[in-house]
Amino acid sequence: MPGSSPSISGDSGSGASGPPPAAESSEAPLAPEIALAVGDAVRLLGVPPYLKTADPMPMLRPADLVDNEEIGQVVEVRAFDQFAVRFRRGAFLLRRVDLSPAQPPG
């Protein structure tokens, strides 16, 4: 029994040290954080699997409602690093990591 306890604690020690670096690397943003404010022009970095509307009763909508080249405007800053962004076909809730600053059209 004493021989099995050290091997179990040794296994758990190596297992415990493995997941935290993986979790940190998966949550790290790819681009440096740039603060966004209401009125800023933004663009999607990639196409999400779906879009969540920024309505009082949100709905999931297909991702093809927003083109990659389309520029939107931040209309609201929400909790948990989310932003309501108005595009041509509606306003959607998007995470900060999915947005990049853009030059306003004009």
Predicted confidence at residue 36, as pLDDT, reads: 86
* pTM value > 0.75: no
Strand order in the sheet with 90-95: 60-62, 50-53, 90-95, 82-87, 71-78, 41-44, 99-101
Measured in whole angstroms, how far is the alpha carbon of residue 29 from the centre of its chain?
Answer: 9
Is a pLDDT exceeding 60 seen at residue 13?
Answer: no
pLDDT in tens, 28-71: 445 556 788 898 999 999 888 999 999 999 999 999 999 888 99
